[in-house]
Structure 1
Amino acid sequence: MSINNINSNLGKPQVDSQKLNQQQQANNQAATQASNAKAQSTAPRQDSVSLTQSAQQLSQVQKKGNDAPVNQEKVDRLKRAVQSGEYRVNPEVLANKIAKLEAELFGVKS
């Protein structure tokens, strides 16, 4: 037994395919125009970088450090002493040198 056309499409509005196509085209055109307007109104941005005075000074110090001569013989001697455990640090002398360096860096006279 087969049942055909139970509701006979009652209560359902008929879809006009031509009208539907026109609405879709209008929506697509509106979206395209909106994206074109946005692309035209957005000017290309120019990136820029600015360094603080501290960063500029740090960069200069790094360049000077890279250009400084290295006593490779002394570096090798210290490296061997550290690896063998013979290198000893005098904590008082180290603390004084650190304090002196900080005073020079921050302009404090000790």
Structure 2
Amino acid sequence: MTINNVNNNANKPQIDGQKLSQQQTQGQAATTGNATQTAAPAAAPRGDSVSLTQSAQQLSQVQKKGTEAPVNQEKVDKLKKAIAEGEYKINPEVLAQKIAKLESQIFGSGA
């Protein structure tokens, strides 16, 4: 089964690179010529500004403190080894108490 004239460029006129660039240049000149005649006087460009919310500023400060905090690499290595060997035990009651304490510090104790 054959399909004729699929993606056949024989019927389309070929435009070489030089003609294309001339056409683009002429089009740009025409639009800039019209724009200068009809454009209103341009106002001075405004400066861009950015403002951060208070929570974004706090997050930035926390991230900065986190990167500056000292790391006890010996303790980290011991914990990694204990986890890898299956010897690290989690006390769910202590974990729950610490999570509750952290939440009350973050969100306040208004519940």
TM more than 0.5: yes
Q: CA 1:33/1:57 → structure 2, altered by over 3 Å: closer, same or farther?
A: same
TM-score (norm 1): 0.61
Q: Counterpart amino acid of 1:47?
A: D
Task: Write out aligned runs for 1:82-101 (5 A).
Answer: 82-101=83-102
Distance 1:107 1:75 in 2: 31
The equivalent of 1:36 in structure 2 is 36
Alignment of 1:18-97 (within 5 A): 31-36=31-36, 38=39, 41=42, 43-97=44-98
- Which position in structure 2 is the counterpart of 1:11? none
Residues 86, 39 of structure 1: alpha-carbon distance in 2 compared, 3 angstrom cutoff: farther
CA RMSD of aligned residues (A): 2.8
Show structure 1 runs of 4+ deviating over 4 A. 37-40
Amino acid at match of 1:71: N
Q: Which has the higher helix share?
A: 1
Partner SS state of residue 81, structure 1:
helix
Distance 1:72 1:33, change over 3 A: same
Amino acid at match of 1:83: A
Give 1:57's aligned amino acid: Q
**Could you state the TM-score of these two structures normalised by the residue count of structure 2?**
0.60
Distance in 2 between the 1:29 and 1:109 partners? 68
Which structure has the larger Rg? Answer: 1
In structure 2, relative to structure 1, the CA distance for the partners of 1:43 and 1:81 (3 Å cut) is same
State the alpha-carbon separation in 1 of the partners of residues 69 and 89 from structure 2: 26
Tell me the amino acid that sits aligned with residue 105 of structure 2. E
Q: Percent identity?
A: 65
